[in-house]
Structure 1
Amino acid sequence: MTHVSSHPPHGQSALRTVQVLGGGSAGSSAHVRSLAAGLVARGVRVTVCAPAEADRAYGFTHVGAQHVPVPRSSDPASVAALRAACADADLVHAHGLHAGLRATLALSGLRVPLVVTWHTRAHAEGARAHLLRLLERRVARTAAVVLGTSSDLVDRARRRGARDARLAAVALPAPRTPAQPQDPDLSPLKLRAELGATERPLLMAVGSLDRHRGYDVLLDAARSWRRLDPVPLLVVAGEGPLRAVLQRRIEDEELPARLIGRRGDVADLLSAVDLVLLPSSWESRSVLAQEALHVGVPLVATAVGGIPELVGDAAELVPYGDADALAEAVVRLLGDPAHRELLKERGVRQAAGWPTEDETVAQVLSVYDELTQTQPLV
């Protein structure tokens, strides 16, 4: 195991870092909290610049970091507030593309190294896609180091002109054990009853109801499941602009599916489902995929982005946009308990090989050390 000093070298003050977070996905926000906790424990001063609601949800101050509320906006007042927070920093670490842009603007003229972690990629078409490329290029070329959470994000940063792009070690903060839900009223049987799946298979997808999530293909696949006995129930947890469109399809086509809205109990829901489905057009280190494998729930996912390298042989992978292949994989797994058990075993084994939180902090500290030219912190 790599040991990281909990105190700065003799005669040196503690390294001062600013972590910049935008609106923040669940994955990037949880990562920043985990990273802040590890850095603080190792004697690093951490300031997290994020919207006020992010600190309420993720508790950066609870792990010893200072929180400076900065809106996600790139307006002059927000950039000025961010610049003030970064004024005495030894290094700034932005998480996400838009956070990277705001950090780039805030650090203009300052000799402060910038690290940017690309946790995911934005989705845009037409003129917005051109603007997105320009934004990616500016952030990639400004950052001293770009850390990508999947190999294709590292390649994307290099194509956009990054001077130094590397694969990030990103740990999944360990979820609660599903066999021991925090709330006794959220036992698997009670959750299945609440969702209407006491005597039928329960399938789950989680994520914002956006176009790139592939829920249109998922509903196409659900038509095939109606011939099964009993008919599986698909639940989709999340909110987004496509809710009305998806709900109309479910009703008009009488599909065995329910939109259950945004949920704060996904870890508990995982204890209740038979299969997890991830039909997206692109994913990096999907938190849902990691949680499913970590707790041993069979996963069917599209072979896109960082998913194949993340899951290895521990999931059923299908092409994006192929409703028939998705439906066939689900039907095959539901009819083959032995293969489901094999996937569970493989999933737990695959998850055991992912970076730990200590390894994630150690990698980040080594990057900080390079850029600040301090004595080794790792």
Structure 2
Amino acid sequence: MRPARLTAVTAVAAVAALTAVTGCTEKSDGKGGGNTVRVTATDDTCEVSEKKLSAGHVELAIENKGSKVTEVYLLFPDDRIVSERENIGPGTKQKLTAEVKAGSYDIACKPGMKGDGIRQKVTVTGGGKTAKRDPRLDKAVAAYREYTQEQADATLPKAKAFTDAVREGDLAAAKKAYADSRIGWERTEPVAESFGDIDPKVDVREDGLEEGQDPAKDWTGWHRLERALWKDKKIGAREKQLATLLDKDLLAWQKRVGKAVITPTSMANGAKELLDEVATGKVTGEEERYSHTDLVDFKANVEGAQKSYELLKPVAAENDAKLAKELDRQFAALNKLLDKYREGGAGSYEFTSYEKLGKADTKELSDGVNALAEPLSKLAAAVVKTK
């Protein structure tokens, strides 16, 4: 999972800005009931209004009454993620729609976005409505599953070009291959994160390590190597070992992608998560703080979100034509804005180094992300809506 890639101060500021613009502070009648679970999070508690649910679509109506930024997860017993909502600011409310089958689950609140979270067990029974869902949604899930596997398959050779350069001690070649090696991961990150144990190995920032972890021993993955290449400007024996470990961890991801639990709502929520990633990491320059290749990640996140939307669009547009029209407009606007910073021509992933952007540039990008994130937060509800 990716808790706390940001500093606490940056996270609070980013969430405040996002919720102010995107409408993530949703209104709620606070009653719950049915398959709606009120989740009330504080700095040391996680209360749920219902612990017995019917299979089908469930809505978590989340309120953070604590003083820390939190995140809420719906988890399988083995800690795989069914769905999640990150970066929930103090005093704000959010809604999360998920699709669940009969079984046992955990709802976890993570104040400060750290650790295993404060957990409540819930039980889901019955067949629910999932068996009757629109066949177009089954087709969308199948297509998205194929897409995520394709992205993982394509990442491995690109990552090997990067890690080979590290093992050879070729600083320039490693820098050149770094950003390209991350595109497939960034497009499909919510699926990779659903396994729980892969993301902390390959994509965590130093300030995202858990309390008690030693950066010298426990920090692995892309960003550890990024620091060596751009900040330390040297490749040693440790970096070469980490390159081989990155290959191993990415191979595990590639082999497990096909087993990921994917539903129409997880696709829709994943698209929103990708925009949140942009808002709280890429636009702030936190993600690629040494290489400043944030715009490559930014573009890949947007592409991944757009892929989910386009696959779900036949149903979403039928259920909410106005929403689909707005999403089309905002995706087009954000892609056009990103093209301003593309340096290698149409289709190229060579973008302006992020530290060269001025305040007006970053604000324009942030506004574009927020304009898309607001309607995108409604996609899951549109997918499950019945006429």
Greater C-alpha Rg: 1
**Higher helix proportion, which one?**
2
The structure with higher relative contact order (CA 8 Å, sep 6+) is 2
What is the TM-score normalised by the length of structure 1? 0.31
What is the TM-score normalised by the length of structure 2? 0.30
